[in-house]
Amino acid sequence: MRSFGQHLVQNYGYFQGDVEALEKAATSPSSSSVPKLQHLIITNNAPLNVIPNIVKKQTSVRTLIFTSKLKITKLPKDLFQKLKLLRILDISSSDCRVLPKSLFKLLHLRHLNLSCLPIKTLPDAIGNLINLQHLILRYCGSLLNLPESMTRLHKLRSIDVHQTPLTGMPIGISKLSQLTSFVGFVASDSSSYERLTEISNLKKLQTLHIVNLEVPNFLDSMVLPEHINLTDLTLSCRGEGQPYEEGEKKEMQECFEGLYPLSKSIQHIKINGYFGLKFPRWIMDLRFGKLKSLELLKCKYCTELPSLDGLPLLEHIRVEDACVGRVDMGDTSISFGDACPQITGDHQLSKAQVPSSRSCISCKKFGHSHNLQSTQP
């Protein structure tokens, strides 16, 4: 393995391994004749307490990824002054609480992964990373806000803040016209709902996951018009187990009506934690010819599921923790009893009755899981 790593260093400027192996490769007799290292992945089994000097010396490196944990609360100030050519940086799951100013001077940076860091703020200087295309901030448990300077990152293609407890979105999201994916868009208050209307200007958006929709607000304009070519939509509410008044349930349904995706390219829809009395009309009357996957999770107050007839490409439907009675699939329907679903009708699920021969219905209710797989005719 070590010789293979040396081969990669010698021929491609790529290294993946632990610090000890890197030092040996860098100090080998043939190291003076090998290409400068451009891609570096550190994979120590044990956590690192310091940034090794051998890493700092790789001034030509374009990719720097630490798969091993960095037990460093503060990165060296001069680290990124030396690694000026970085395009890809991944320091996720480190203990870093303070990000050095030099990081935000990496003008070539395209991909930045700060997931699971205990940072409380993201500096305004992030707006200086004018070539950044992918920003990943998953599971940053202490991060509550994103700076408005982020809206200067006009080349951003994806933002992922999954399970980061943000309280809202910065003003000016619509300026990020190159966005194709936004996972974790927060809509937890009236100001955030105003940010929702900015989504209609993101014409290249394909993946959108909206969270914290549990504070219903009336949307007076179409958020997801036809010119947004969405393929993947997730709408989530939190507050499981919280009692809701009848008025709140009706307001939730009205709110979701305004989130009707008009895209004809939708392939995946997921609704999680919805507490309306009924699903909005666009869910009950599914007209998405390219839909492959439908997930309806923890929609406790809805007693009726949408008809799946007329969905020729549907491969997967998942229903979890719902009070539904049945789901119609053309000539066949699936009824849900107190403990388990059963097929009703004269025939088992077959290619003729299910939209796709690969279709799978996964149901989970009252602690029981069931999978109903279609059969070939």
What average pLDDT is seen over the chain? 81
Is beta strand 39-42 parallel, antiparallel or unpaired with respect to 14-17? parallel
Is beta strand 341-344 parallel, antiparallel or unpaired with respect to 332-336? antiparallel
Q: Give the mean model confidence (pLDDT) for residues 332-349.
A: 38
**CA 149, 198, 146, 140 torsion: positive or negative?**
negative
Considering its fold, how many domains does the chain have in total? 1
- Strands annotated E in the chain: 14-17, 39-42, 63-66, 88-90, 111-113, 134-136, 158-160, 181-186, 207-211, 232-236, 268-272, 293-297, 316-320, 326-329, 332-336, 341-344, 360-365, 368-373
Position 307 pLDDT exceeds 90? no
Does a structural domain hold residue 276? no
Does a structural domain hold residue 139? no
Is beta strand 207-211 parallel, antiparallel or unpaired with respect to 158-160? unpaired
CA-based nearest residue to 316, from 377, 265, 374: 374
Q: What is the pLDDT of residue 255?
A: 86
Does a structural domain hold residue 338? yes
Indicate the pLDDT class of residue 71, thresholds 50, 70 and 90: very high
Query: Can you give the pTM of this predicted structure?
Result: 0.85
Position 193 pLDDT exceeds 80? no
Q: Give 241-282 pLDDT, tens digit per residue.
A: 678 888 888 888 888 988 999 999 999 999 999 999 888 889
Indicate the pLDDT class of residue 29, thresholds 50, 70 and 90: low
Give the rounded distance of the alpha carbon of 2 from its chain centre.
Answer: 35
Position 376 pLDDT exceeds 70? no
| Least-confidence region, from 103-117, 127-141, 178-192 | 178-192
Does a structural domain hold residue 375? yes
Q: Is 335 strand, coil or helix? A: strand
Q: Which residue has the higher pLDDT, 229 or 344?
A: 229
Does a structural domain hold residue 372? yes
Q: Give the mean model confidence (pLDDT) for residues 364-375.
A: 40
Does a structural domain hold residue 197? no
Does a structural domain hold residue 212? no
Rounded Cα distance, 271 and 296, in Å: 5
Q: Give the mean model confidence (pLDDT) for residues 144-159.
A: 97
Q: What is the pLDDT of residue 369?
A: 38
Q: Is 9 strand, coil or helix? A: helix
Here the tokens at position 297 are 């999770």
Find the domain containing 333 and state its range.
320-377
Q: What is the pLDDT of residue 349?
A: 30
Does a structural domain hold residue 356? yes
What one-character-per-residue DSSP string does 81-121 give?
Answer: HH-TT-SEEE-TT----B--GGGGG-TT--EEE-TT---S-
Q: What percent of the chain has pLDDT over 90?
A: 50
Q: Give 138-149 pLDDT, tens digit per residue.
A: 999 999 999 999
